[in-house]
Chain A
């Protein structure tokens, strides 16, 4: 909670708010503000355990009892349950208050084991702190304490020690209210009450780490941090998570130059303090044995050998300068980089090298002009009450979990209506106001029908009442935000573009959040790591000071580059933290391209499957080791900060770019981060007035909104072949835990990746004659044939076969053909 929620009064005559007296001082609270929050805002800390500003109050712990006179005499009341009323008199220091605090702490400590020296919370524990500050100092309890089995793993990531639990209801409330995974709960009664999971159901929530952070004692501890360090040998740096494009604010904790923990930081604009377990625990990857710590070149013998930077840079320059034409150089990736590094590489390649075959997306995103040209919403705008949100994209819980938490809160508590236009039912479940799950390829037609008001009949398996409900919401005049992303990698993005066009026709004021998954992909597009644009969305014909060799013609995207490589017309390919062999949705094309590529340069942090094929490997420093800036899906800038030094010879990406420029006889014009940021401010529209030092530190970071010199025009209809009667249309989407680089390099997360299972609607599975859980034969029109376990899932619409991307077992990318609008498959028992 920041002071922004307390608008200072402009005119002294009509002072807003509720007058009340706190410890003898006349103060004002906001309308409906809880006493505990109002006191905190005015600098009076009322001790508490169960109260959490981002969750509903329950009054469980009684620690916040204070003496309140509401007009009928003073009594002890819990400050977390009490909205401030006019002329309330509150005393937080009176004798009855301190006696109540004494008593509550003595009671809480009766069964608390006091194993603080071995407890991970010891040293930063609210129970310790409050016992010191407000407790009696002595216990009168001499009897045996309550005993439970010491920590029991309730999931792969979280341990539960019930002896330490003070039954504050924070974890259970979080799981139920915030995450919507009510997997942890109170059981038994009275003195035997304990928190636990349901038998045989582990606490496998994507958000389980948050319960560890909000636990006021050491009852819930994180397995990756278990005994890794004590609070007093941690040092902290606030940064921004680069795991996905939400841009959650985080605090990086290190000990002995090792990242040991990441905590969520409460940012009003983005994550509200919550993190997904991936954002929280994937720091382990920095220590991975798969890290590339030294530059490497492929020796004559065909093996990658460690070399000096000079040599590796020289080989890179030879590969780039040796290409006969800038159009024969391709660059894939860049979403892993900080904004500054993205600009440096963009300037190196486009400004000095006239290369335009650059794409930060790997065929799994949206067209760059759509991402940059659509009017952007902020998360706050999307979540504002009385709004309508259209989810034209993936299951956000799987792809952008912290954004999902914000939207879920908006839908559950703030009256936001959600229209689900995802290819399958998402985690929003029954809380959606209208459920349209268009079959692959049909989203454009459905959106067009909504725009035309043709909602009287059911369409493509979507009942008329859902279409009518959606149409009514979209035409109700309520503000509309469309969250658009690739919910189906087996479907051409043209379908989404067509649907966006129809929605814009129906709701011209609609705003958009582009739910792209990769970390800093919005920054990459903004910095020009996409074909056809210079930084800031400027056209190639624009002139930028210091960019002497701008590209002449629009280059190729990732698919185009891979095809060019197959044709032999791409001589050099540079990977900027990209792994096309694993991430490009068409495995066959990527493999064929890698067979034919001339020289492959990889600037990477990990030895990925693509990097293993490289001729030159430049070792880059990764998140946690670099300073810079992040741009999230709103266009919001927030700082990324180094906490530990990069291993070995690894160095920030922008330095690598600057050295390549120098070795090639050019000059990027910066040798320090500050100079680089000034260069961005001078060259990129929208960044003129960014204060790089304070952006996102003193307040939520600024949202960069640059007017584009061009206007986005969208095509409304994309031709989709008709579905045949016996086939199913393939939906391929991402799970949070997949074999992506960060997850597979993190020791605690690796094991969470599941097996790929084909899911069908129960009716389809029955029609095919297969049983749930048995293997089926899956074949595509292009001839690929695989066996995979199939299961019935009522969340999958009829006519659809759903397969997650990049899990263990069957790789969905083997079934996808780039360029096909949809993929039809046949499933046989």
Chain B
């Protein structure tokens, strides 16, 4: 008879009003439309969401299959295999490319250590977390899903709720360690990427406090040769 006690709690609380705020992101009405009232709540600047694999401005993949992300991942959700770049159709600059790249989102804890480990800024995280799956194979994103499309935009999968403008939040915003390894370094610098050109990263915290954040996707397109660092 134990379950009646549970119902008793429910009934006792009936009508007390909602104490938690409902997040309506991705909710559709019965006609399959997203209602006007359905707005995503604003996310913190450093929220971590679904990953993307970036490309250089010439379309080359940034991933070189070095497996540093897989090595650092505390949830062991990343599986990478490298391969020799085919001479006639190189996928990335240099000798090696990421031949297999898989992230298991049933395991990923969005800690962003992969982003920090990546020596080529190939993997970054968007802020999208409005995605859910009905089977395991959907939850394992392969290169086909993670790689940005030919325009440099993240691929929008059927079970993901992308809103206009959200793809701008895919990269160029945070890196805890400095590229030079100097402890005194402040701020971030990023190489050019497909769809966005060269974007500004975070300003150093003291400067950020003093000014407003720059417009992402801005000017300053220098022709990046696509070489890795």
- Which chain A residues have a beta carbon within 8 Å of chain B's beta carbons? 115, 117-118, 122-123, 137-138, 150-151, 226-227, 229-230, 232-233
Contacts and interface: CB of A to CB of B under 8 A. Distances in A.
Given A117-B119, A151-B95, A233-B71, A122 B66 contact: yes
12 contacts: A115-B228, A117-B119, A117-B228, A118-B64, A118-B82, A122-B66, A123-B71, A138-B181, A150-B95, A227-B65, A229-B81, A233-B71
Given A118-B94, A151-B95, A230 B66 contact: yes
Interface string B29-56: 0000000000000000000000000000
B153 interface: no
Given A118-B96, A138-B181, A227-B96, 7 more contacts: A117-B66, A118-B65, A118-B95, A137-B181, A227-B82, A230-B66, A230-B71
Contacts of B96: 118, 227
A670 B138 CA distance: 47
A-B CB proximity, top 8 nearest: A117-B66, A227-B82, A118-B96, A230-B67, A117-B119, A232-B71, A118-B64, A227-B96
Contact of A233 (B64, B65, B67, B84): B67
Contacts of B66: 117-118, 122, 230
A283 to B, nearest CB: 18
Contacts of B168: none
Contacts of A150: 94-95
Nearest to B182: A138
A226 B84 contact: yes
B126 interface: no
Contacts of A115: 94, 228
A808 B84 CA distance: 30
B68 interface: yes
Contacts of B83: 227
Interface of B: 64-68, 70-71, 81-84, 94-96, 119-120, 181, 228
A712 B119 CA distance: 68
Contacts of B120: 117
B197 to A, nearest CB: 24
Nearest to A117: B66
B178 to A, nearest CB: 13
A162 to B, nearest CB: 14
Q: Is the interface of B mostly helix, strand, loop or mixed?
A: loop
Nearest to B82: A227
A118 B118 CA distance: 12
A137 B95 CA distance: 27
A230 B83 CA distance: 12
A68 to B, nearest CB: 33
B38 to A, nearest CB: 42
Contacts of A118: 64-66, 82, 94-96
A225 to B, nearest CB: 11
A149 to B, nearest CB: 11
B95 to A, nearest CB: 6
A117 B64 contact: yes
Contacts of A117: 64, 66, 68, 119-120, 228
Contacts of A227: 65, 81-84, 96
A217 to B, nearest CB: 15
Contacts of B94: 115, 118, 150
Nearest to B120: A117
Contacts of B119: 117
B133 to A, nearest CB: 24
B205 to A, nearest CB: 24
A777 B82 CA distance: 51
Kindly name the residue among B70, B71, B82 whose own CB sees the greatest number of chain A CB atoms within 10 A.
B82
Contacts of B71: 123, 230, 232-233
A381 to B, nearest CB: 46
A192 B119 CA distance: 30
A137 B64 CA distance: 25
Contacts of A137: 181
B70 A233 contact: yes
A145 to B, nearest CB: 12
Contacts of B68: 117
Contacts of A123: 71
Nearest to A114: B229
A135 B33 CA distance: 61
B180 to A, nearest CB: 8
A137 B180 CA distance: 10
B134 to A, nearest CB: 28
Nearest to B66: A117
Contacts of B82: 118, 227
Nearest to A118: B96
A233 B81 CA distance: 11
B52 to A, nearest CB: 19
B101 to A, nearest CB: 14
A226 B120 CA distance: 20
Nearest to B118: A117
B17 to A, nearest CB: 53
Contacts of B64: 117-118
Contacts of A232: 67, 71
A150 B64 CA distance: 15
Contacts of B81: 227, 229
Nearest to A122: B66
Contacts of A230: 66-67, 71
A227 B81 CA distance: 8
Contacts of B181: 137-138
A229 B79 CA distance: 11
Nearest to A227: B82
A137 B68 CA distance: 20
A600 B81 CA distance: 43
B210 to A, nearest CB: 30
Contacts of B70: 233
A15 to B, nearest CB: 48
Nearest to B229: A114
A601 B178 CA distance: 66
A122 B96 CA distance: 13
A278 B119 CA distance: 36
A138 B184 CA distance: 14
A22 B95 CA distance: 45
Kindly name the residue among B71, B94, B95 whose own CB sees the greatest number of chain A CB atoms within 10 A.
B95
A136 to B, nearest CB: 12
A300 to B, nearest CB: 41
A230 B71 CA distance: 9
Contacts of B67: 229-230, 232-233
A826 to B, nearest CB: 50
Nearest to A232: B71
A226 B84 CA distance: 8
B41 to A, nearest CB: 38
Nearest to A150: B95
Contacts of B65: 118, 227
A554 to B, nearest CB: 55
